[in-house]
Homo-oligomer: A and B are copies of this chain.
């Protein structure tokens, strides 16, 4: 670090933090990017890791590699607190040691985590899909369930093994349900002798009255029809009141026996949001996100920007919002340093919203325009290839897509022994 240079600290290397770091490239500042993992996570494709299409490396490129041409400091650690008066953040390294890092400007982009709405005990039976560990765990559960169904002789137990319940019908839930249906009815077809994969049930549940509530209603209707056609049972206005090892219980008493349950039902801000709100006196919304000023700073703290899923902006929790927010915050800081302050508030430019249903099938909402089916899917393909970070990722990802969508292959189907043992230990604990 050069002496006396303005110190910018960015918390989080998701879309918000990464785009802020890139946009700060040429600013006369010393930039430190702090993240709890060594990789940037391309979250919109996490469901493809969970369903065996992509490898974890393809959706999680190392931050150092993505930013290798930038002059900045990448530090591994979780930011657990902010000292607003002293202008430092407290960073906890993976080995438990804590260090303080000083800032002059701070961009907080620590994202969101999954919320079980107070039912945290659901988590061990119904993992969510927010990080690489989750995706590998879900992948292991899905593929292992088919394998165990092949061995199971009791018809009832086999049906339970072949039943997959996804709770939450936002993009992640819809994409997971579509992919599991494709696995059972297409990719894995003919690979089992004893289990009849046509018995597979994929149940997509949501308390809302439609799938993809962030999309225009006709697209929700379209997506639901497509899911149903693929063999997904879509059950709306349905609340889950309990999740256990053997299944889920619905409001009204109905029970669905299911070995594999996946939670895709909602997000909350990370604990850092509450710490930051405490420290700055900022207000938060119901999900714990911080209410920011129109320029994305915390009221009374022009040196602290909050971008992406941590900010309460009345915008969807999508990558574009975080990217644009990160870039805006970086430009605002660079502008102050170069004497050309940014005077316009942050304005989100909505490039549209899309979700895949299955191969060659997606819905996309661009302004007032609706696209679905193959056309929607081509748009999804183009956009995701465009935004995938790094040349190599694009090429191998494209190749894996060719294999999975044109062919039937799922190349990443590993369940590690560690994962299987951990689940066996859990089952034995429950049985005791």
Contacts and interface: CB of A to CB of B under 8 A. Distances in A.
A68 B187 CA distance: 12
Given A65-B191, A190-B68, A411 B57 contact: yes
B143 A413 contact: no
A424 B191 contact: no
> Which of A392, A399, A410 has most B Cβ within 10 Å?
A392
Given A65-B409, A399-B399, A57 B57 contact: no
Contacts of A93: 148, 151
A60 interface: yes
Nearest to A151: B93
A392 to B, nearest CB: 5
A58 interface: yes
A39 interface: yes
A385 interface: no
A74 B188 CA distance: 14
A96 interface: yes
Interface string A127-169: 0000111001000000110011011000000000000000000
A396 interface: yes
Interface stretch (A216-224, A294-302, A354-362, A415-423): A415-423
Contact of A57 (B99, B132, B413, B416): B413
> Which of A57, A400, A413 has most B Cβ within 10 Å?
A57
B76 A151 contact: yes
A60 B191 contact: no
Nearest to A420: B94
A288 to B, nearest CB: 22
B150 A76 contact: yes
A392 B407 contact: yes
B424 A94 contact: yes
Contacts of A416: 132-133, 136
A60 B414 contact: yes
A430 interface: no
> Which of A392, A413, A414 has most B Cβ within 10 Å?
A414
Interface in A384-430: 390, 392-393, 395-396, 399-400, 403, 407, 409-418, 420, 424, 427
Given A151-B93, A392-B407, A409-B392, A133 B190 contact: no
A110 to B, nearest CB: 16
How many copies of the shown chain assemble into the complex?
2
A114 to B, nearest CB: 14
A6 interface: no
Interface in A57-114: 57-58, 60-62, 64-65, 68, 73-77, 93-97, 99
B399 A144 contact: no
B414 A56 contact: yes
A396 B393 contact: no
A280 interface: no
Contacts of A411: 57-58, 61, 392-393, 396
A348 interface: no
Nearest to A421: B94
A417 B64 contact: no
Given A95-B148, A400-B396, A38 B424 contact: no
A427 to B, nearest CB: 8
Given A96-B424, A418-B418, 10 more contacts: A38-B144, A57-B412, A65-B409, A75-B150, A77-B151, A94-B147, A95-B424, A131-B417, A133-B418, A399-B399
Interface of A: 37-39, 52, 55-58, 60-62, 64-65, 68, 73-77, 93-97, 99, 131-133, 136, 143-144, 147-148, 150-151, 188, 190-193, 390, 392-393, 395-396, 399-400, 403, 407, 409-418, 420, 424, 427
7 contacts: A73-B193, A75-B150, A95-B424, A132-B416, A132-B417, A392-B403, A396-B399
